[in-house]
């Protein structure tokens, strides 16, 4: 795996170059992107110059940079104790982050990688082909999951006995679990292409940022899959079995 080695600390000041700000922490690349600064286009300029050119409030951008932190991982221990409703809410929120923040940003970074005269032009070309395919498949997976699996769990929590009976003829937690296994390693192709995120020689800062964010994305996807497989599915299965037994008992009295 590619390991980010923190460079010599650079004070976040208006005179710091964009290159040094991003090199210090690759998470800063997203913060700059969020205010309309493509770091790879202005690497050698100072933050003050870039803010002036784009009519940005320098103090505001500095504040954002100083507040920038890596996306934290959830506390699994707490999630294991949480209700099904809370777990579903958390996972849906993570879906939004993947769809609106993480995947679009990585896609943009990869799209903007320059190929002309680049020492790794073939690698860049392959990334620009492969990542959009991964993104399309993953986005489809998320929408399908929310429209079927999450919908079914929500129905188990809220529906009438008659509705539950109808749904249980159509869905089952076990079938969802089996189908979910096929999506547990969505980034296998990207990982193989990048040789487990090992940076090639002569990698630009732009490519370093791409690799770092790709690896971070995979880590968060793996954690997301773990929460679904090891926490959500078991809790949902317990609920489903409980409701099936209740329906069975009711049918005996009818």
Position of tokens 């803010």? 51
Asked whether residue 183 carries a pLDDT value surpassing 90, the answer given is no
What are the residues whose beta carbons fall under 8 Å from the beta carbon of 38, sequence distance 6 or more? 32, 112
Torsion, Cα 238 239 241 242, to 10 degrees, reads 110
Handedness of CA 40, 44, 48, 52 (dihedral sign): negative
Computed over every residue of the chain, the mean pLDDT equals 89
Asked whether residue 162 carries a pLDDT value surpassing 80, the answer given is no
Check if the beta carbon of residue 225 is closer than 8 Å to that of residue 184: yes
Q: Could you give the CA distance from residue 190 to residue 215 in angstroms, rounded to a whole number?
A: 10
Cα 119 to chain centroid, rounded: 29
Summarize pLDDT for 69-109 with one digit per residue, the tens.
Answer: 887 888 888 999 999 999 999 999 999 999 999 999 999 99
Percent of the chain with pLDDT over 90: 67
Over residues 203-226, the mean pLDDT reads: 95
User: For residue 82, what is the DSSP state?
Assistant: S
Helix-strand-coil percent breakdown of the chain, rounded to 5? Answer: 70, 0, 30
Using pLDDT thresholds of 50, 70 and 90, give the confidence band for residue 5.
very low
Check if the beta carbon of residue 14 is closer than 8 Å to that of residue 58: yes
Short-list 163, 134, 139, CA closest to 151: 163
Asked whether residue 7 carries a pLDDT value surpassing 50, the answer given is no
Check if the beta carbon of residue 94 is closer than 8 Å to that of residue 224: yes
Summarize pLDDT for 224-238 with one digit per residue, the tens.
Answer: 999 999 999 999 999
Residue 46 pairs with which residues in a beta bridge?
17
Q: Could you give the CA distance from residue 213 to residue 218 in angstroms, rounded to a whole number?
A: 9
Crossing angle between the packed helical segments 233-252 and 151-158, to the nearest 10 degrees: 40
Residue 17 pairs with which residues in a beta bridge?
46
Higher-confidence position of 29 and 183: 29
Over residues 130-137, the mean pLDDT reads: 95
Q: Where are the domains of the chain?
A: 18-67, 76-252
Q: Which pLDDT belongs to residue 133?
A: 94
Asked whether residue 221 carries a pLDDT value surpassing 60, the answer given is yes
User: For residue 198, what is the DSSP state?
Assistant: P
Summarize pLDDT for 194-203 with one digit per residue, the tens.
Answer: 999 999 888 9
Check if the beta carbon of residue 51 is closer than 8 Å to that of residue 57: yes
């Amino acid at each position: 795996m590619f390991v980010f080695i923190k460079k010599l600390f650079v004070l976040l000041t208006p005179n710091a170059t964009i290159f040094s700000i991003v090199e210090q922490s690759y998470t800063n690349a997203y913060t700059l992107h969020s205010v309309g600064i493509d770091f790879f286009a202005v690497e050698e300029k100072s933050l003050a110059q870039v803010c002036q050119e784009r009519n940005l409030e320098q103090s505001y951008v500095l504040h954002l940079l100083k507040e920038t932190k890596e996306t934290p991982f959830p506390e699994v221990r707490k999630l294991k104790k949480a209700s099904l409703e809370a777990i579903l809410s958390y996972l849906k929120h993570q879906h939004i982050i993947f769809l609106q923040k993480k995947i679009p940003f990585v896609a943009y970074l990869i799209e903007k990688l320059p190929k002309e005269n680049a020492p790794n032009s073939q690698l860049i070309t392959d990334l620009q082909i492969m990542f959009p395919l991964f993104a399309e498949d993953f986005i489809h997976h998320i929408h399908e999951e929310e429209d079927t699996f999450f919908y079914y769990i929500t129905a188990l929590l809220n529906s009438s006995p008659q509705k539950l009976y109808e749904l249980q003829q159509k869905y089952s937690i076990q079938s969802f679990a089996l189908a979910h296994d096929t999506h547990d390693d969505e980034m296998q192709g990207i990982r193989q292409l990048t040789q487990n995120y090992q940076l090639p020689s002569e990698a630009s800062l732009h490519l370093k940022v791409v690799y770092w964010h790709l690896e971070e994305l995979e880590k968060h996807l793996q954690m997301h899959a773990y929460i679904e497989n090891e926490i959500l599915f078991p809790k949902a299965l317990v609920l489903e079995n409980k409701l099936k037994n209740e329906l069975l008992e009711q049918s005996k009295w009818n």
